[in-house]
Amino acid sequence: MLAENGFASLRFDKLGTGKTWIPPAVLSGAEGVTPDHFLGDVRAAIARLAGDEAIDARRIFMPGSSEGGLNTLRTAADPEAGLAGIVLLASQGAPQEATVLRQLRAQHAAASSAEAADEQIAKIQNILDAFLEGRELPPPQEVSDNREILALLQGFRNPAAQDLGRWILSWDPATAFAEIGIPVLILQGEKDIQITVETDARRLHEAARAAGREDVTLVVLPDSDHVFKLEPTPKEKLGPAAALRYNAAGRTLDPAAVEALLTWLRAHAGAT
């Protein structure tokens, strides 16, 4: 889709996935993963593009999807990155602790009574507080028997991921705009069950405008889900199980999302 419209793209595996190189000190356990490890990969990707004779180094844009938006915002705050603009795709607009609790509350509310859901969320909140404060964590099994929640809480016990986890949970992406002076597109699906228009997309947009950033565009797509695929189901009928269908056979990208992205890129690539 991008190549057909004159935009080259570079995709690479996130640190720790696929065939990515992992620093020896991390592999040995001598040090943990930090946000800067991810930024190193991003800087290498930008340098790779800028050094390609087929690429105009003045017109490099960086997208970030969901949690990846955090790395995009941090990269954009570095003037040496040389980005022409960034695209935040269904990116969280608040510290991830709040996002995680909201998502888990929705899962529990759909599967149990309101009272039981509140009880479980209170336990998870205590775990998150203990993790962020560096206190001893209770066994995950004392909190929940939900497989996804157990995996999340068990990950907190991994020493190699604790510094990164604390940063991701506590860093407020809305604060980044004070240091960002390049164009921003915030693209958000109305039928996203993980990231929402009000708590995330509009919060990012308002923070950018409050920081004096005028070239910030918010586009809300009425029929896009979290991965910008066309979702015909009415929003009120979508539950946590909808996330299991992101890559189901026959699903397609929302044409409105594609057009919004291309329209913004054309406008800003030509003006750079």
The DSSP-derived string for the chain is -TGGGT------PPTTSTT----HHHHHTSS---HHHHHHHHHHHHHHHHT-TTS-TT--EEEEETTHHHHHHHHHT-GGG--SEEEEES---S-HHHHHHHHHHHHHHHHS-HHHHHHHHHHHHHHHHHHHHTPPPPPGGGT---HHHHHHHHHTT-HHHHHHHHHHHH--GGGGGGG--S-EEEEEETT-SSS-IIIIIHHHHHHHHHTT--SEEEEEETTB-TT-BB--S-GGG--GGGGGGTT-TT--B-HHHHHHHHHHHHHHHHH-
Dihedral of alpha carbons 223, 224, 229, 231, sign: negative
pLDDT digits over 162-176, tens only?
888 999 999 999 999
Calculate mean pLDDT across residues 33-56: 91
Query: Among candidates 271, 72, 84, which has minimal Cα distance to 182?
Result: 84
| 66: Cα within 13 Å, side-chain hemisphere | 10
| Whole-number pLDDT of residue 52 | 95
3-94+179-271: which CATH number, 2.10.25.10, 3.30.70.1230, 3.40.50.1820, 2.40.30.30?
A: 3.40.50.1820
Kindly report which listed range (4-18, 111-125, 178-192, 197-211) carries the lowest average pLDDT score. 111-125
Residue 228: per-residue pLDDT: 98
Phi, psi of 65 (to 5 degrees): -105, 130
The 10s digit of each residue's pLDDT in 85-99 is 999 999 999 999 988
Taking residues 5-21, what's their average pLDDT?
86
Q: Region 234-241: what's the mean pLDDT?
A: 88
Q: What is the pLDDT of residue 20?
A: 79
What pLDDT does residue 110 have?
66
Give percent of the chain with pLDDT exceeding 70.
Answer: 97
- Max mean pLDDT range (2-11, 114-123, 215-224): 215-224
Alpha carbon distance 203, 93 (integer Å): 6
Judge whether residue 261 has pLDDT over 50.
yes
Q: What is the pLDDT of residue 208?
A: 97
Q: Does the structure show a pLDDT above 80 at 151?
A: no
pLDDT confidence of 148, banded at 50, 70, 90?
low
Evaluate if residue 271 carries a pLDDT over 60. Answer: no
Q: Is the Cβ–Cβ distance between 174 and 207 less than 8 Å?
A: yes
**What does the domain layout of the chain look like in residue ranges?**
3-94+179-271, 96-168
What's the pLDDT at 111?
A: 66
More confident residue, 134 or 229: 229
Average pLDDT, the chain: 89
Q: What is the pLDDT of residue 272?
A: 43
Q: What is the pTM of this model?
A: 0.88
pLDDT band at residue 58 under the 50/70/90 scheme: very high
Name the most confidently modeled range: 29-38, 161-170, 255-264. 255-264
Structure tokens at 99: 């996002």
Query: What's the mean pLDDT in 71-78?
Result: 95
pLDDT exceeds cutoff 90 at 105 = no
pLDDT at 55 over 80: yes
